[in-house]
Structure 1
Amino acid sequence: MSEHFDVVVVGAGISGIGAGWHLQANSPDRSYVILEGREQLGGTWDLFRYPGIRSDSDMYTLGFSFKPWTQAKAIADGPSILRYLDETVRENGIDRHIRYSHRVKRADWSSADARWTVVVERGGEEMLFTCGFLFMCTGYYNYDRGYSPDFPGFADFKGQVVHPQFWTDDIDYAGKNVVVIGSGATAVTLVPELAKQAASVTMLQRSPTYIVARPSEDKIANWLRGRLPAKAAYGITRWKNVLLQQYFFRAMRKHPGKAKKALVDMVRAELPGHDVDTHFTPSYNPWDQRLCLVPDADLFASIREGKAEVVTDTIERFTETGIRLASGRELAADLVVTATGLEIQLLSGMPVMVDGTRFEPVKHMTYKGMMFSDVPNFAISFGYTNASWTLKADLTATYVTRLLNAMKKRGMRQVTPRLKAPVEDAPFLEFTSGYVQRAAAHLPRQGTRKPWRVHQNYTLDVMALKYGGIDQEMEFSNPEPARRRAA
């Protein structure tokens, strides 16, 4: 037996929950279900349980456009974000549409039927769902495996090693020597939190990352919330933060030398007397990789207080008691945390077939950062790399509902992006980060002109996705049978 819905959404994280709300608000006549492989909602915010887990974007932009964030802290911890998501689904009745422990295994499109068949595993048994439109909201990384390099001598180490993606509550670091390998958002979050109880914490990095400190509370947002209705205060703060972010991003990309000096000088002010040139001055330009945010300068405070140390070096090998570096120094460790990155995985790694042919993302071009050339009735939610994920996820869901409404109005069952003029290739993600470069050979392409290129600019995307036309290099086809239209 199978169940049929107009739309199947895969994933009940931020993107999937937002998709559910937009379907209800913008296409209320369309039935939908959200299939979630895990036992509860939240995606990233349910998976990651390491100490100090928090947002690396402000909650006025990481939050939904339709659900005001009303807490004082703009940089929120993981449990607070989970509570926010849970409130959202309950308040809007989205929870009634979520099927937990439903892991999607594959999807097959049939143009003859204008229908996706989705194979799902639940409790060891297979189930079938069919739908007219498949909306993938599964994020961008492998939930089952993080990235860890093959370190020489790893098997010799007698202590404990854990990847942050698989942190459990029984891991004891109190009074122990801890080494955190990595310099990204996860590492800079872990270090100050671990330093509260550990005997010592060392952040071991191969190369530095740009680290920016900002207050955990937005004083303007809190002032507005005390004087305006929650929705109005939230909307003003959201746009304030969007416009400020866009301004600083453009300024940094236009004047990378000045931006680099300003960012490094901010660290010098936080860490007088420290070797900032070695440990906090990256070789690349700002926004070649994502900047790391530390609220209330907590990382710098733990370094100033002698509770944490940053070491820039390469690993020669693990030993029984720690890590020997290329410089000859040995770091004693009881616990090593490999904050070495994620493994990018689109579509949860599931096979997708289109009229009997295997869909390979690398052979296709992305349309507006959400659909693929020559793949009908199929979209993914993929957020911004230079701003909050949710900003783009909201716009993507809005655009999908616009397509659904246009299909119904025109009496068409199929909508497919088509390349109608030559376009040059460009990387799907224009980042030099290791996790991006490791996956580059398997990622789709984007173009050098719209609608095949992502702006990475919320203001432009609002105009294009929320208000712009929907026919640009988009083919509507496969008319509904006459008897269905009559019904």
Structure 2
Amino acid sequence: MTLPADGETFDFLIVGAGISGIGAAHYLRERFPESRFALLDALEGFGGTWWTHRYPGARSDSDLYTYGYGFKPWRGRSIAMADEIRAYLGEVIEEDGLAPHIHYGHQVSAANWSSADRCWTLQVTRTGSGETLTLATRFLWMCSGYYDHAQGYTPPWPGLRDFQGQMVHPQHWPQDLDCSGKRVVVIGSGATAATLIPALAGQVEHITMLQRSPTFFSAQPWSHELEAPLRALDLPDEWMHEILKRAHLARSAEVVRMSFEHPQELRAYLIDQIRGHLPEGFDVDRHFNPSYRPWQQRVALVPEGDLFAAIRSGKASVVTDTIERFDATGIQLTGGQHLDADIIVTATGFNLKLFGGVPFNLDGEPVDFTRHVTYRGVMIEGVPNMAYLQGYFRSSWTLRVDLACELICRIVKHMYQQGRTVVVPTIAGEDAGMPRRPWIEPENFNAGYVMRAQERMYRQGDRHPWRHDLEYDEERAILPAVHPGESALAYR
């Protein structure tokens, strides 16, 4: 692999080699085969989330027929393990010949736009050697997701330093950690906790899920019920992928619709669904009946009800309470109970990091993204020649990668066809006075990582094309119909 040279100029630079960056690179190879591009990633391998999260049992919490790219059929079961997903991404890299274009261990520390030069200049550090270099690009594509890969979120609990056992965040799981015969407490009740607990239950003395408040869960099979009869027909992979994608989309769209139109009926359905998986007399309403509306936070997927099977076996238990303080041997709860622990896992979520934490400057002036709004969730108003990728909250991330990449490539192609070199989303006319809304309205989606980051994020307007909090069912009709010559895009 040839490393980028100091001072080198590219047509496109992609920051991030996870599901977004690899998808963006595919579309660039397909739509602009003569372009010079590179992917930069601070991590030491591809995959992003799937490189960082290596805790026991790590798996998808979306089906892979919608999480897989539209251009590459998924061939496995609906729910996949992390290694299977990375293998799939590796196939894309190999089939598209992307490996020579990906540069790992390259941390972008600044992005500076020059109107005079009509390009971005990136300050980059090679994390292994500490060497710094400057790279230029005519178009910058931010595909770093929104995880802070360097530091997971851990609340500042009282007495945290007093605990004498081992404390682990799933984002930084030690590969040599031995939980055999240990008393383990997992703090948190989201998708990570629901994955870890059944993965560890067979080896620990006991494992406890400690939650401040409940999460909605849904027990689903590893494979969609249509998979087996369809495979018996020996259909082409492309047909299988499309049929099962549509089946999963129809199911999830109905659940999302119910979450807004009939939230109490959906609540009852989700709770009744898991009630039969739990021991008789289990206090379902206390431990599995959240205070928020279904899908106001993610519904955690439990393949074949494995979390509930661990509870039935007696090797796992659920405690709903708040933490008073940590001590040498475990956790003292507000309700009076003490949880003894050898290992405490803080499955308390992640820190959100806008655009990888890279500071942006336009002609020497720092960009305060909180003063800018999004353009259709793919570009930022007032920021030239820069696109970004962000997925959905309630649907698979990659569904939006496909739609957004198609739109961004159409915008760049239109710019070229017009003989222009710069495109910048620009608010004009009656839109100039529109209300500026939060990045995400809490009434729509109020997960902890979203609420903690609201004041650091860009904003959105109250109308198209300045909104981004749409569902896939809306955007799959809206985004393909966008004309790149619309008035919100200024070319020069």
TM-score (normalizing by structure 1): 0.95
Q: 1:114 aligns with which of 91, 110, 118?
A: 118
Following superposition, the deviation at residue 24 of structure 1 comes to 1.1
Residue in structure 2 matched with residue 408 of structure 1 by the alignment? 416
Q: How far apart are the structure 2 equivalents of 1:121 and 1:312?
A: 45
In the alignment, is residue 451 of structure 1 matched against residue 465 of structure 2? yes
Task: Give the percent of matched residue pairs that are identical in Structure 1 and Structure 2.
Answer: 45
Q: How far apart are the structure 2 equivalents of 1:130 and 1:290?
A: 39
Query: 1:31-430 maps to which residues of 2 (within 5 A)?
Result: 31-71=36-76, 73-122=77-126, 123-226=129-232, 227-271=234-278, 272-420=280-428, 421=431, 422-430=433-441
Q: Deviations over 1:114-150 (max 9, x none)?
A: 1011111112111121111100000102111111111
Q: What amino acid maps onto 2:438 in structure 1?
A: P
Residue in structure 1 matched with residue 448 of structure 2 by the alignment? 434
Q: What amino acid maps onto 1:370 in structure 2?
A: V
SS at match of 1:258: helix
Q: Deviations over 1:62-84 (max 9, x none)?
A: 1111111101x211011111111
Q: How far apart are the structure 2 equivalents of 1:368 and 1:221?
A: 35
Q: Deviations over 1:270-300 (max 9, x none)?
A: 2232100100000111111111111111001
Residue in structure 2 matched with residue 477 of structure 1 by the alignment? 491
Q: How far apart are the structure 2 equivalents of 1:103 and 1:15?
A: 17
Q: Deviations over 1:298-319 (max 9, x none)?
A: 0011111111000000111112
Following superposition, the deviation at residue 433 of structure 1 comes to 1.4
Alignment check: 8 A CA contact 2:465 2:488 kept: no
Relative distance call for 1:27 and 1:465 in structure 2 (3 A) is: farther
Q: Across the two proteins, how many residue pairs are aligned to each other?
A: 477
Question: RMSD value over aligned CA atoms?
Answer: 1.3
Relative distance call for 1:44 and 1:297 in structure 2 (3 A) is: same
Which stretches of structure 1, 4 residues or longer, exceed 3 Å deviation after superposition? none
TM-score (normalizing by structure 2): 0.95
Q: How far apart are the structure 2 equivalents of 1:403 and 1:419?
A: 17
Alignment check: 8 A CA contact 2:210 2:320 kept: yes
Relative distance call for 1:225 and 1:65 in structure 2 (3 A) is: farther
SS at match of 1:413: coil
Q: Which runs of 5+ in 1 are unaligned?
A: 479-487
Between 302-311 and 20-29, report the one with greater CA deviation. 20-29
Alignment check: 8 A CA contact 1:382 1:389 kept: yes
Q: What amino acid maps onto 1:43 in structure 2?
A: G
Q: How far apart are the structure 2 equivalents of 1:114 and 1:224?
A: 52
Alignment check: 8 A CA contact 1:451 1:472 kept: no
Q: 2:478 aligns with which of 446, 460, 464?
A: 464
Q: Which runs of 5+ in 2 are unaligned?
A: 1-5
Q: How far apart are the structure 2 equivalents of 1:468 and 1:365?
A: 18
Q: What amino acid maps onto 1:124 in structure 2?
A: G
Alignment check: 8 A CA contact 2:426 2:490 kept: no
SS at match of 2:109: strand
Q: How far apart are the structure 2 equivalents of 1:317 and 1:16?
A: 42
Between 355-364 and 202-211, report the one with greater CA deviation. 355-364
Alignment check: 8 A CA contact 2:378 2:408 kept: no
Alignment check: 8 A CA contact 1:256 1:285 kept: yes
Alignment check: 8 A CA contact 1:225 1:234 kept: no
